[in-house]
Structure 1
Amino acid sequence: MNNESIVLEEINVWTTPLFVTQMPDHDFLKDALLNAVYQQKASQTTAIQSLIAPKAKHALHESTLDFLELADANVMEAKRALEELVLEIAKSVNYGFWPDEIETDAHIIESWYHVTQKGGYHDAHSHPNCSWCGIYYLEPGDANIEGNGGLNRFYDPRVNAEHYADLGTAYLGGHGVWDFVPTEGQIIIFPSYLKHSALPYFGDKDRVVIAFNCIVEAY
């Protein structure tokens, strides 16, 4: 058999795109956003102020789901920048699927902070009722130091990808998870169906993130 006559076309289907970037103007926004987070945290009457899945969360504080709606210029700027990023991503991945000349906007419909202390974690979950989700690492604390945890773990959405393993499946990874090591000012944006968790954190500094859910609409 003459292998030179074989033409193979690779078709990638059902891929899961994730996007990582740096928050525009993070150095300018950081202190003001941290102040807003800690002001709200000081007024919380319970650790999980959202009251959503409190048993899935340990040693962390979570706001209600409207943090980026605060009437604060820096918070409003952060929201605007995050919505612009999601819109650029949506335009890119949907190229060829949207009608020509369509006008679209991205809207953050839910947003909250997590202030995680030593031993804190968030069990695996996904976010319904939105198309894109994001995590802005305002202050990852000691999460990027070996052994301190605090990573975000993303789970393979291909539910049967691990039902059999041999040399032919080595490209699948074989472990079903991808761990993201955050650094200050980073943003990771991912589709809402993707299950993820925050692994136990053992650093001494607070780990502070702003998370959000976003929809994309035509106007």
Structure 2
Amino acid sequence: MTDSLITDAATIEHWPTWTTDLFIATQPIHELIKAPVLHAIHAHRRQAQTAIASEVAVTAKHGLFESELDYLDGANADLQTLKQVLTDLVLDCATSVNQAHWPDDAEPQAEIIESWYHLTENGGYHDAHSHPNCSWCGIYCLEPGESNIETRNGVNRFYDPRHNAAHYMDAGTAYLDNHGFWDVAPVAGQVVIFPSYLKHSALPYFGQQQRVVLAFNAQVHLF
């Protein structure tokens, strides 16, 4: 849908093109599931043989442990419950921005196709990247540790996908927001859901307590 601006000279049609939707939700059963999920994560970590078990983009990660990419697919009942909750959140978000483009009788279904956790130690970070082979991604914060938005300690940074949008700034480009990024501080129970093309990073984290997040990739199909 477009808006029209009527001036003395002409009627001008406004097309608000190429927006990027990002969602921040609260995991509804976080307080019930946090302890058993953290217990399962730490037990899994003690049995791991390598720091980046996923073997993906090893050089982009430092000072953290990353599990295999099928962590929520195990038989653990708490993890299965969590997977369903996160799947439902993805579906709600995807539906909110896509429903007008779907057939009236469409039955959408979301599926988490990859999932993994990060245990970040003092000085750890994950360099900028995006996620292929999915439409939506999520980061669920189980334990923020000493992350802090004021010092940018351990925050998740999302980068402006409009390449060169800020290559020249004056009063006519003020609407673009020339920061070039959005920072989201991890909060216990928070789930950030974002489109897969959106580049993001976990800035360096400093603290004695581990920063623990669980991430996932999802696809959405119509039936």
- The one of 16, 23, 28 equivalent to 1:24 is 28
Q: Which secondary structure state, in structure 2, belongs to the residue aligned with residue 36 of structure 1?
A: helix
- The one of 49, 60, 67 equivalent to 2:64 is 60
Deviations 1:171-197, CA, capped at 9 Å, x for gaps? 222121111112110000000000000
Please name the residue that 2:153 is paired with. Answer: 149
- The unaligned stretches of length 5 or more in structure 1 are none
**Structure in which a larger fraction of residues adopt strand:** 2
TM-score, scaled relative to structure 1? 0.94
- The one of 204, 210, 223 equivalent to 1:206 is 210
Please name the residue that 1:161 is paired with. Answer: 165
Please name the residue that 1:76 is paired with. Answer: 80
For residues 123-142 of structure 1, the aligned pairs below 5 Å read 123-142=127-146
Whole-Å separation in 1 of the counterparts to 2:150 and 2:18: 33
Deviations 1:136-181, CA, capped at 9 Å, x for gaps? 0011111036436100000000002012111221222212111111
Distance 1:180 1:148, change over 3 A: closer
The amino acid across from 1:96 in the alignment is: A
Q: Report the count of equivalent residues.
A: 218
Cα distance, 1:24 vs structure 2? 1.1
Q: Is the 8 A contact 2:149 2:155 kept in 1?
A: no
Deviations 1:55-75, CA, capped at 9 Å, x for gaps? 100000000000111211110
Q: Is the 8 A contact 1:142 1:148 kept in 2?
A: no
For residues 47-126 of structure 1, the aligned pairs below 5 Å read 47-126=51-130
Q: Is the 8 A contact 2:147 2:153 kept in 1?
A: yes
TM-score, scaled relative to structure 2? 0.93
Whole-Å separation in 2 of the counterparts to 1:38 and 1:191: 29
Cα RMSD after superposing both structures: 1.7
Distance 1:148 1:180, change over 3 A: closer
Distance 1:93 1:148, change over 3 A: closer
